[in-house]
Amino acid sequence: MAGYLPFDETDLPTLYKKINAAEFSCPFWFSPEAKALVDKILTPHPKERIRINGIRRDPWFRRNYVPVKHTEEVEVNLDDIRAVFDDIEDQYVAEKSECSDTGPLLMNAFEMITLSQGLNLSALFDRHQDYIKRQTRFLSRRPAKDIISSVEAVAVSLGLKVHTRGYKVRAFLNVPLFSTRLEGMSANKTGHLAVVLEIYEVAPSLFMVDVRKASGETLEYHKFYKSFCAKLEDIIWKPAEGANSNLLRTITC
């Protein structure tokens, strides 16, 4: 809120002294109610310090506050678990020991290229050769949390349950910022459909939402994806015509 720490000293003993004496000052732009709440939170003595319930009841805190809704925990369908959970990805994340701290981690070209369908030879083993496999992903310029809430809301409106695996504050290369699994009955109510959705930050404030089928019929999946995108029109980014023609011109095989 202030943009700086309440207690910031170069040496630990001085720092601790300040904390214990509650020697801090709020910036001038804090309202009196905000300052009062901060005072109560930064009280040194734990018995005198405000509790979480107290914070929740505080009038300043309650202004414009929307509590987080918890989705119900439902039994996960264990069928096709190998296809859904990309274990090899987790294995590679564990292997990467350091994470360079040079600003926000953006995708580089090779991370995207490795997602390409033409380079994905596992399709050779695909037993269901009935339908043309098409890529299902789109871009968005909205903030990540808007994308997440829209995606979850639309999934629920289409009758699917949302199982969120995780929301990483800093993504490693090739590990999504956000990953979720959507499950339920397909639109024609004949079978189960499970979808994995991941969000990657491709460039500053530009996100790629990658959607793929985890289990269920391919045709039902594509029907779902069509309705899904129709409802997400306002977050999907489609740049102006000029960009497309440039793109087509530079492609040579």
Partner 1 sequence: MDGRSSYLTLGEKLCSVLFPLIGICEAVILGFVGCCGDLRRQPDRKFDYSFTDFVTVNEVEALFELFKKVSCSIIDDGLIHKEELQLALLKTPAGKNLFLDRVFDLFDEKRNGVIDFEEFIHAISVFHPGASVEEKINFAFRLYDLRQTGFIEREEVRQMLNAFLLESEVHVSEAILEAIIDKTFEDADADMDGKINKTEWKEFVLKNPALLKNMTLPYLREITTVFPSFIFNTQVDD
* Site residues (vs partner 1, CB under 8 A): 88-89, 92-93, 95-96, 106-125, 127, 129, 131-135, 137-139, 172-175, 202-203, 206, 208, 238-239, 243-244, 246-248, 250-253
Total number of residues shown for the chain: 253
Smallest distance from partner 1 to CB 166, Å? 16
What is the 3-state secondary structure of the chain? CCCCCCCCCCCHHHHHHHHHCCCCCCCCCCCHHHHHHHHHHCCCCCCCCCCHHHHHHCHHHHCCCCCCCCCCCCCCCCCCHHHHCCHHHHHHHHHCCCCCCCCCCCCCHHHHHCCCCCCCHHHHHCCCCCCCCCCCEEEECCCHHHHHHHHHHHHHHCCEEEEEEEECCCCCCCCCCEEEEEEEECCCCCCEEEEEEEEEEEECCEEEEEEEEEECCHHHHHHHHHHHHHHCCCCCCCCCHHHHHHHHHHCCC
Contact 115/210 with Cβ under 8 angstroms? yes
Between residues 43 and 114, which has the closer beta carbon with respect to partner 1? 114
Smallest distance from partner 1 to CB 222, Å? 12
Smallest distance from partner 1 to CB 144, Å? 17
What is the 3-state secondary structure of 134-151? CCCEEEECCCHHHHHHHH
Between residues 2 and 123, which has the closer beta carbon with respect to partner 1? 123
Smallest distance from partner 1 to CB 102, Å? 9
Between residues 25 and 117, which has the closer beta carbon with respect to partner 1? 117
Smallest distance from partner 1 to CB 160, Å? 23
Between residues 135 and 157, which has the closer beta carbon with respect to partner 1? 135
Between residues 140 and 186, which has the closer beta carbon with respect to partner 1? 140
Between residues 72 and 95, which has the closer beta carbon with respect to partner 1? 95
Smallest distance from partner 1 to CB 118, Å? 3
Between residues 158 and 206, which has the closer beta carbon with respect to partner 1? 206
Strand partners, 200: 208
Smallest distance from partner 1 to CB 76, Å? 21
